Each structure stands twice: as C-alpha cells, then as structure tokens.
Amino acid sequence: MDRTDQLRKFIEAQPDEPFPRYALALELKGKGDTAGAARELGELLQRTPDYLAAYLQLGLLLQPLGQSDEARATLQRGQEVARKKGDTHTLSELTAALETIAP
C-alpha cells in the first residue's frame, strides 16, 4: 500500500480530521496531480475553514489550473482567516503569493 492509499484510509476513518487530507493533497501535488490536490484542499477548507496552510497551497495550485480568479479569492480568504487568528507569518506568505498572481 502506498502513502496515498494509507492517507485515504485515514481520511475514510476520520473524514473531519484535517491533517491526513492536507498530507494527501501534498502527496498528490508531489506526484503531479494538481487537480486532485486542489480537490482535496477544497474539501479540507469546506470541513475546516480555519486551516490556514490549505489556503496558501490551494491558491498556489489553482493558478496553473487556469483558475486565477479563484486562486486570488482563496488567498484573500486565507488573509482574512490569518488576520482573525493573528498569524502574521502566514498572512505575509499569503500576501506574497497573492502578489504573484497576474490581474
């Protein structure tokens, strides 16, 4: 059983636990499955909207999928969450990523 299969089993057992889904998205991204990684991160944010790292990763994945407007909106939502949490480090990462997206 490979790592993605293991992570899917964890997710199946505990679908609302955010880290296995985040790890699966990163694993899929590493394998070149950008769309699959974006789907997992979208699902993660639906279930756990305050999981900050997912906003950055999803925003970065949506742009090469031709979804620049959605990437921008995702990063901006992440900025709002970071501000509410007082997480200035992640806020700066989200801001830097947002600046790389062409208008």
pLDDT at 102 over 90: no
Question: What's the pTM value of the predicted model, to 2 decimals?
Answer: 0.92
Spatial neighbors of 76 by CB under 8 A, at least 6 apart, are 98
Q: What percent of the chain has pLDDT over 90?
A: 94
The total number of structural domains that make up the chain: 1
pLDDT digits over 56-90, tens only? 999 999 999 999 999 999 999 999 999 999 999 99
The domain of 53 spans 3-99
Number of neighbouring beta carbons within 10 Å of residue 75: 25
Name the helix (H) or strand (E) containing 76.
Answer: helix 68-85
CATH of the domain at 29: 1.25.40.10
Q: pLDDT band at 1, cuts 50/70/90? A: confident
Alpha-carbon gap, residue 13 to 52, rounded angstroms: 23
Q: What is the mean pLDDT of residues 44-62?
A: 96
Token match 């756990």: residue? 48
- Give CA–CA dist 52/86, Å, rounded: 11
